[in-house]
């Protein structure tokens, strides 16, 4: 006999019986007292679902908050929508917000208007946001026909959004409505605005603001804002460059592909990157540096960049020695351990700093030095090469996690050190309200490289990613403001190439994997990109470090 009730398993393993047709949102109100932080969404079978979803069968529902990757994204996009609506209602003239890129646990944004946006204006904007959040206003999901959505965005002069929707294959698209405003975001949204009550708005001047909100690492605490002026400048320079090329949005890049002009654009972009390497080397020589110390987060292209810099300096007559910090690990028996009793190879204490500093000083002093090679299988340093002696015009390049931290090289003359931070600050926006994440770009690079070179399971790479990010935030990011040069290693066209390699790998992640939801999110983020053949990628490109066939693979 049919029943109108079914069982639901909740986060803590509790099984309750509910009436069929109960929405996930209705159930969330009952479960919220058991959650430490605000519920922002829900997952079924490791996949985010709308809070409007009706429960019709026995299932397991995982309520999520900002401490999960998916919850963080939902919270972020919800706050973006609130910001946009608050701006429109506070300043009814032609005020438009552009969400430029992520920065310091937040979003850097620009207020586009004819007038100067002041600190007082920022206070008015925040007051309106507080009102919308305090009212706990409903965010509606609207499933509309593709043609209707295209027509709407053309009508409101958001042509880049119309073009993106045109390039999607599905005939129905989901848009969101808050008050009288409709927008399209690449994520699920909260059911209502009340859960978005943890945020801050920082006024930077020059019509620039930063929207801060909790991250998985900060839990439900709004992080303190750290101003990375040179990183912001990198993005600004990149955006101006894309404007000059007339490709500020993905839709513009897709048109280059469909017009069969991508090969020419690839050459232009690669030439520009090589010009940046040339300018970096100019500055190294101008500063008379002897130690060039390079650091950057995972999959920034450090290996290829270091080799390009070495090649450029050698072409100018300098003797260059490339040293890997990894060769200076302490023998494993002497390595420090973390709180769980595991070897902590990311800690600065894992390096033999005394040996490293002595050898670097001796090399520049013209002394003969026997360099170590670390045997990771045995966990010991080995000395298998002949001693090295450098000439007077020598420059040492050293890349490693702690390179831009002066505590790694305390014995070196600071006037001889030149610190470089590199990362792929991709300035290409999906549209004015959605940008392509630098973190996602690095993750895709890593998935492709690790699968190609180590046969690493895609799910394992995704699952381990948060640990990688935690190490970066602890050991690299605090020192960014103290570097001599910041190098943007992103390439305008690269996501289209990576799509060809990474998409099949992401589809291989099974629905029962903890990485499934993240894999699907990445697949969704790639939908608006046209694929670009790797045949157009030069063999000296930084992208080859990840997709293979790099000319630098055997270059020392």
Residue 56 lies in a domain: yes
State the pTM of this model.
0.92
Say if residue 208 is in the same domain as residue 77: yes
Model pLDDT for residues 80-115, shown as the tens digit of each residue? 999 999 999 999 778 999 999 998 779 999 999 988
pLDDT score for 2: 57
Q: Which domain holds residue 221?
A: 70-227
Tell me, yes or no, whether 350 lies in a domain.
no
Domain's final residue, options 227, 253, 277: 227
Residues 101 and 244 reside in one and the same domain: no
Q: Are residues 112 and 52 part of one domain?
A: no
Query: Is residue 138 situated within a structural domain?
Result: yes
CB under 8 A, 24+ apart: contacts of 267-270: 267/538, 269/491, 269/492, 269/493, 270/491, 270/538, 270/541
Do 84 and 170 belong together in one domain? yes
Residue 184, in any domain of the structure: yes
User: Same domain, yes or no, for 61 and 76?
Assistant: no
541 and 460 fall within a common domain: yes
Question: Which pLDDT score is estimated for 61?
Answer: 93
- Both 77 and 220 in one domain: the answer is yes
Residue 290 confidence (pLDDT):
98
Residue 273 to residue 402: CA distance in whole angstroms: 25
Q: Are residues 447 and 492 in the same domain?
A: yes
Which residues lie below 8 Å from residue 97, measured CB to CB, with a gap of 6+? 83, 84, 87, 109, 110, 111, 112, 432, 433
What is the per-residue pLDDT for 225? 93
Answer yes or no: do 80 and 61 share one domain. Answer: no
Task: Look at residue 48 in the predicted model and tell me its pLDDT.
Answer: 86
CATH code of the domain in which 24 resides: 3.10.20.30
- Give 496's contacts (C-beta < 8 A, 6+ positions apart): 253, 257, 262, 529, 530, 531, 532
Q: Are residues 92 and 216 in the same domain?
A: yes
- Shared domain for 56 and 136, answered yes or no, is no
151 occurs within a structural domain: yes
- Domain end residue (candidates: 45, 65, 85): 65
Residue 403 located in a structural domain: no
**Residues 6 or more apart whose Cβ sits within 8 Å of residue 249:** 160, 163, 164, 428, 429, 430, 431
Kindly state whether residues 80 and 217 are assigned to the same domain. Answer: yes
**Domain-located, residue 503:** yes
What CATH number did the domain enclosing 79 receive? 3.30.980.10
Per the structure, the count of domains in the chain is 3
**Is there a domain that residue 555 lies in?**
no
pLDDT tens, the chain, 556 aa long: 457 999 999 988 889 999 999 999 999 998 999 999 999 999 987 788 999 999 999 999 999 999 888 899 999 999 999 999 999 999 977 899 999 999 877 999 999 998 899 999 999 999 999 999 999 999 999 999 999 999 999 998 899 999 999 998 889 999 999 999 999 888 899 999 999 999 999 999 999 999 999 988 887 899 999 999 999 999 999 999 999 999 999 999 999 999 999 999 999 999 999 999 999 999 999 999 999 999 999 999 999 999 999 999 999 999 999 999 999 999 988 888 888 778 888 889 999 999 999 999 999 999 999 999 999 889 999 998 899 999 999 999 999 989 999 999 999 999 999 999 999 999 999 999 999 999 999 999 999 999 999 899 999 999 999 888 888 888 999 999 999 999 999 999 999 999 999 999 999 999 889 899 899 989 999 999 999 999 999 999 999 999 999 999 877 6
């Amino acid at each position: 006999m049919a029943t109108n009730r079914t069982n639901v398993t909740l986060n803590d393993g509790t099984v309750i019986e509910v009436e069929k047709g109960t929405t996930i949102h209705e159930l969330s109100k009952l479960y919220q007292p058991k959650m430490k932080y605000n519920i922002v969404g829900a997952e079924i079978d490791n996949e985010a679902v709308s809070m409007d979803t009706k429960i019709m069968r026995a299932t397991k529902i995982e309520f999520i908050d900002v401490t999960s990757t998916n919850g963080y994204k939902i919270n972020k996009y919800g706050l973006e929508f609130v910001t946009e609506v608050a701006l429109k209602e506070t300043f009814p003239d032609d005020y438009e917000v552009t969400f430029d890129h992520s920065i310091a646990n937040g979003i850097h944004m620009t207020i586009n208007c004819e007038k100067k946006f002041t600190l007082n204006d920022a206070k008015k904007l925040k007051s309106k946001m507080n009102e919308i959040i305090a009212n706990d206003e409903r965010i509606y999901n609207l499933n509309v026909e593709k043609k209707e959505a295209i027509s709407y965005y053309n009508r409101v002069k958001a042509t880049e959004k119309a073009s993106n929707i045109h390039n999607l294959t599905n005939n129905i698209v989901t848009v969101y409505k808050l008050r009288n405003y409709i927008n399209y975001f690449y994520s699920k949204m909260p059911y209502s605005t009340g859960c978005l009550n943890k945020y801050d708005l920082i006024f930077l001047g020059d019509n620039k603001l930063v929207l801060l909100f909790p991250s998985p690492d900060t839990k439900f605490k709004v992080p303190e804002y750290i101003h990375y002026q040179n990183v912001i400048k990198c993005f600004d320079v990149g955006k101006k460059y894309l404007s000059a090329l007339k490709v500020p949005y993905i839709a513009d890049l897709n048109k280059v592909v469909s017009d069969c002009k991508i090969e020419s654009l690839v050459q232009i972009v690669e030439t520009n990157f090589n010009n940046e390497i040339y300018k970096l080397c100019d500055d190294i020589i101008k500063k008379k540096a002897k130690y060039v110390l390079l650091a950057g987060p995972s999959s920034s292209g450090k290996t290829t960049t270091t080799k390009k810099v070495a090649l450029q300096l050698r072409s100018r007559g300098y003797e260059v020695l490339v040293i890997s910090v990894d060769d200076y690990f302490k023998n494993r028996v002497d390595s420090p351990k973390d709180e769980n009793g595991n070897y902590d190879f990311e800690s600065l204490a894992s390096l033999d700093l005394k040996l490293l500093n002595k050898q670097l000083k001796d090399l520049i002093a013209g002394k003969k030095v026997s360099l170590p090679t670390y045997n990771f299988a045995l966990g010991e340093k080995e000395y298998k090469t002949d001693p090295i002696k450098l000439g007077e015009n020598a420059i040492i390049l050293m890349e490693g996690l702690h390179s831009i931290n002066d505590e790694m090289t305390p014995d070196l003359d600071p006037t001889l050190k030149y610190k470089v931070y590199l990362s792929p600050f991709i300035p290409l926006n999906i549209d004015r309200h959605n940008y392509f994440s630098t973190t996602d770009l690095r993750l895709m690079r890593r998935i492709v490289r690790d699968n190609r070179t180590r046969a690493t399971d895609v799910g394992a790479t995704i699952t381990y990613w948060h640990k990688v990010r935690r190490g970066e935030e602890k050991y690299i990011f605090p020192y960014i403001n103290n570097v001599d040069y910041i190098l943007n290693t992103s390439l305008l066209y690269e996501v289209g190439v990576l799509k060809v390699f990474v998409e099949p790998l992401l589809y291989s992640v099974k629905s029962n994997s903890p990485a499934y939801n993240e894999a699907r999110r990445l697949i969704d983020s790639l939908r608006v990109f046209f694929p670009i053949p790797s045949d157009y990628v030069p063999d000296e490109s930084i992208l080859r470090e990840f997709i293979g066939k790099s000319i630098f693979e055997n270059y020392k």
